Amino acid sequence: MNLLSLLSACALSAATLTLGTSCRGTVGIGSSSNAFASTEIHHSSRSKVDSAIRSVFREDGFSLVSQTGNTYQFQKWGGRSTEIVYGTWFTDGVAVEPEVELVELGNGAYAVLCDVYMREHGSSLMKANHRLVASGKIAYNGMMKKVKKRAEGK
């Protein structure tokens, strides 16, 4: 990693820390959630919401890594620029890893909450793990809108 890359990564880290307290937001469920992106679904079933979550993330290139109860963990490997910004010198790769939580609100209503992490993988003891707070928010809000539309059958 050259000096310019290192300085860019430091600047991005500082911006992330600064924005962390002011850029959290939600789509459609008010201020009670601090998820990176979210939506509220009405007049649906758990199986429809589950299917919508899986299909929208799969179509965007993510693999379902695990599902425990109502929590889904997806993964997509980043490229060289992702490694420069979010990795360390000893990285074997950095993956984009959204964690999606499905919350039953009752009466056919559900909240879908999505937090996104950039996670370094490899043998290094110093693995980076960054929670996104601003970068890419529009794309994930768009994915949540697709989940809502499919789950509500619109």
Element of type H or E holding 118: strand 109-121
pLDDT at 87: 65
pLDDT at 88: 67
What's the token pair of residue 152?
């509500």
Phi, psi angles (nearest 5°) of residue 78: -85, 170
Q: Per residue of the chain (154 residues), what is the pLDDT tens digit?
A: 443 444 344 434 433 333 333 233 334 444 346 899 999 999 999 999 999 999 999 999 999 999 999 999 999 987 777 666 766 666 678 888 999 999 999 999 999 999 998 887 765 555 556 676 667 788 999 999 999 999 999 7
Phi-psi region of 152 (alpha: psi -120 to 50; beta: other; left: phi over 0): alpha
pLDDT at 11: 39
Phi-psi region of 24 (alpha: psi -120 to 50; beta: other; left: phi over 0): beta
Q: Taking the domain 3-151, which CATH number applies?
A: 3.30.310.80
Distance CA 152, CA 33 (A): 21
Angle ∠(46,33,112) on CA atoms, nearest 5: 20
pLDDT at 136: 76
Distance CA 10, CA 18 (A): 12
pLDDT at 7: 36
